[in-house]
Structure 1
Amino acid sequence: MPLPLYLLAMAVFAMGTSEFMLAGLLPGVASDLDVTVGTAGTLTSAFAIGMVVGAPLMAGLARNRPARSGLLGFVLVFAAAHALGATTTNFPVLFATRMVAALANAGFLAVALTTAAGTVAADKKGRALAVLLSGTTAATIAGVPAGSVLGTALGWRATFWAVAVLCLPAAVGILKGIPVGPAQGDQSVGRALRAELAQLKSSRLILVMLLGALVNAATFASFTFLAPIVTDTAGLSDLWVSVVLVLFGLGSFVGITVAGRVSDRRPDLVVTLGGPLLLLGWPALAVLAEQPAALLGLVFLQGALSFALGSTLITRVLYEAAGAPTMAGSYATAAFNIGATVGPLVAAASLTTALGDLGPLWVSAVLVAIALLAAFPFRGVIAAGRGDVLQ
């Protein structure tokens, strides 16, 4: 894989750390800013909303500009938003900084996804996406747990400062490793934006975006509220939250790596095998959450299955949106983050029901079930190179 992919992954690491880090910081944020844990959880949705809105907006603004300058600008705005968030004592201001950071993250990913796809052969998009998203999995393995430990030791604000600092080497990497040129290759600069947006009329594209959103909603519904499950349900200490996040991250790395090898040729295999296992895993985790050993094992498994299935569906978005080379990344980013918006909101509502801390796990199960039911009649759409099922 080309070196620029790994440099982009370094920036994704910093941004992924920010996107996921609140899973281990929510109790501290809630206490410091005098809000409930459920209210603090809406910071995850704020970030996701910014990503959904920002993905097509930022991609449209940056589509005819050099990739290097666009990517660098997004990283610097992202860092500034975290610096402001680290200093505020007002929850609405923190909420706003999360949305600004998300807009920058969305723009970065939209450009990075299409740039990554343009650096490899047409049939290697899945592997290129796996390399790019390795920054996200590295964030869940190292960045998020380290942020959780830092937050426990020095407070959640220290973690926000750390993310801002992480952006600096990423910015240097972009300057040194990304060549000057159009955002998505010479062949797409003159393409009319209206023609690219017209790709959204494709029912095949809408379907894979919907499926990706549902699976990601299930992932974020539970991931956002893992901390209370670890400390309250399983009865473990706060430091075990970091261990659980590491396990989830290791699982996600395994899932993306394996799916990256398969998703270009047999995406249907990933969905057929991984989907039912993912569906069974969430209720199993809810039932066995009080047993620490079962909790640790299932968190790893669910991380692997969630990211294997989710990354495969997002790869299918890139394939189905091949006619929109500068906007395809924004469609994939939007699908991913629509799920990240809906999942935590529904999960937060479940916390006030009789299910309590386990509510998000049952929400995840329902969302995966809906995705599998929606996918079953249209299996040919998911399978690479098969049929024109919905055309």
Structure 2
Amino acid sequence: MKYPVAIWMLAIGAFAIGMTEFVIMGLLPNVARDLNVSVSDAGQLITGYALGVAIGGPILVMLTIKWNRKYLLLTLMGIFIVGNVAAALSPNYGFMLTSRIITSLAHGSFFGIGSILAASMVRPEKRASAMALMFMGLSLSNILGVPFGTLIGQNLGWQMTFVVIAILGFIALLGIVFFVPMTREEVKSSMLKELRILKEKEMWLTLGITLFGFSSVFAYFTYISTILTDVTEIPEHFISGMLIIFGVGVTLGNIFGGKLADWNLNRALQLIFITFIVYFIALYFIQMSAVAMVVGIFLFGFIGFSMSPSLQFKSTLVSQDAPTLASTLNQSAFNLGNALGAFIGGVVVESLPIQYLSFIAPILTFIGLILLLVNMYINKKEQASQV
């Protein structure tokens, strides 16, 4: 099936957003040196961004709930461009942190609104795949955008990296102007109507499934460079190549996960969660071998990110009356899950040999699996009572 050009334009926007989120990790020493702060202080630029996504996204959605979705996307890309230009012009640390927080406001809302629009442009049985195509831009940013942005920053200055990202944002903005259709239907949502989903148990279960199910990915991946050098004993100059292999796995897993979600959403998540938990156990032995880890890191990205389309699609189905807030809150859950995973991983690394992380990390996905099974049981019970 051919997908509308508009979805590809949304994917370009997703690529730019993914690039600005993750490229800072490779540029921290450069940013810290130029802004006269420690690397750990510069690391708060990542924390500030994540909190901006988790908290600012839902608030922005509520403030713009009556807006036309195309106009809202254009506004979000405008905020994104301004934030990245401000980052490039930052004269000091405080200005840089503020610019990162401004940029982050576009993140959750863009993916929340964009995924709903992408799904609306295709037949019902292809909606998860359409969302996966949009999110493929986020995956590709890890393979192409982050290495490219890091290379630019190291050779031309980190400021130029954010200029390039702003240009990509402008291209996405033009794509939205010319290709994303204008929805003419009356906007029926209201702030109170959207907020009602916070009373729904299934909404909180879904957010919990996302938060815990995905957090094990970052519990392990946050320390992947150390694992590859200290456990797998791969030379440091091969790390970037291994991360590219991981990124390829992420991209293909995202596509596969979308097709699997089109088949059966809850069953797809159940299958992915169980496979991921089992794979983590196998990963303990795989990570000891450099040859096996070439395939191992690909499979880690493939399995881990195959759950992303299902988790995002599930959030839009929780409440048909408030899909915008539900989808954006799910992005908040993703980011909080990333932070939780990194924190748990840090505790494990401080307490145990790092290779044991592959035994501890899947506990988080196991909690997500339990929440999923509870959700499926409740749904089955409710359906039975309606017969």
TM-score, normalization: structure 1?
0.85
Match of 2:111 in 1: 109
Match of 1:52 in 2: 54
Match of 2:188 in 1: 190
Match of 2:314 in 1: 316
Match of 2:167 in 1: 165
Instruction: Answer yes or no: is 1:388 the counterpart of 2:382.
Output: yes
Q: Tell me the CA shift for residue 152 of structure 1.
A: 4.7
**Gapped regions of structure 2 (runs ≥ 5):** none
The counterpart of 1:303, out of the listed 298, 301, 304, is 301
Match of 1:206 in 2: 204
Instruction: Answer yes or no: is 1:35 the counterpart of 2:38.
Output: yes
Q: Tell me the CA shift for residue 99 of structure 1.
A: 2.1
Partners in 1 of 2:279 and 2:104 — Cα distance? 30
Distance 1:105 1:267, change over 3 A: same
Match of 1:131 in 2: 133
Match of 1:16 in 2: 18
Q: Tell me the CA shift for residue 354 of structure 1.
A: 4.2
Distance 1:31 1:293, change over 3 A: farther
Q: Tell me the CA shift for residue 377 of structure 1.
A: 3.8
Partners in 1 of 2:76 and 2:384 — Cα distance? 36
Which deviates more from structure 2 when the two are superposed, residues 218-227 or residues 194-203?
218-227
Partners in 1 of 2:95 and 2:242 — Cα distance? 30
The counterpart of 2:279, out of the listed 263, 278, 281, is 281
The counterpart of 2:369, out of the listed 364, 367, 372, is 372
CA-atom RMSD in angstroms: 3.1
Partners in 1 of 2:78 and 2:125 — Cα distance? 33
Partners in 1 of 2:224 and 2:255 — Cα distance? 24
Which deviates more from structure 2 when the two are superposed, residues 368-377 or residues 347-356?
347-356
Q: Secondary structure at the match of 1:327?
A: helix
Is contact 1:112-1:329 (8 Å) kept? no
Is contact 2:12-2:168 (8 Å) kept? no
Is contact 1:268-1:379 (8 Å) kept? yes
Distance 1:297 1:307, change over 3 A: same
Match of 2:290 in 1: 292
Distance 1:366 1:50, change over 3 A: same
Q: Tell me the CA shift for residue 149 of structure 1.
A: 3.6
Q: Tell me the CA shift for residue 92 of structure 1.
A: 4.8
Q: Tell me the CA shift for residue 235 of structure 1.
A: 4.7
Is contact 1:148-1:242 (8 Å) kept? no
Q: Secondary structure at the match of 1:190?
A: coil
Is contact 2:213-2:273 (8 Å) kept? no
Which deviates more from structure 2 when the two are superposed, residues 73-82 or residues 147-156?
147-156
Q: Between Structure 1 and Structure 2, whose CA radius of gyration is higher?
A: 2
Distance 1:367 1:124, change over 3 A: same
Match of 2:248 in 1: 250
Q: Tell me the CA shift for residue 198 of structure 1.
A: 0.7
1:149-160 pair list within 5 angstroms: 149-154=151-156, 156-160=158-162
Is contact 1:126-1:264 (8 Å) kept? yes
Q: Tell me the CA shift for residue 70 of structure 1.
A: 2.0
Q: Deviations over 1:256-309 (max 9, x none)?
A: 211211213312332333212212334544554453323332221111111112
Q: Which amino acid aligns with 2:192?
A: R
Q: Secondary structure at the match of 2:122?
A: coil
Partners in 2 of 1:234 and 1:83 — Cα distance? 40
Is contact 1:45-1:345 (8 Å) kept? no
TM-score, normalization: structure 2?
0.85
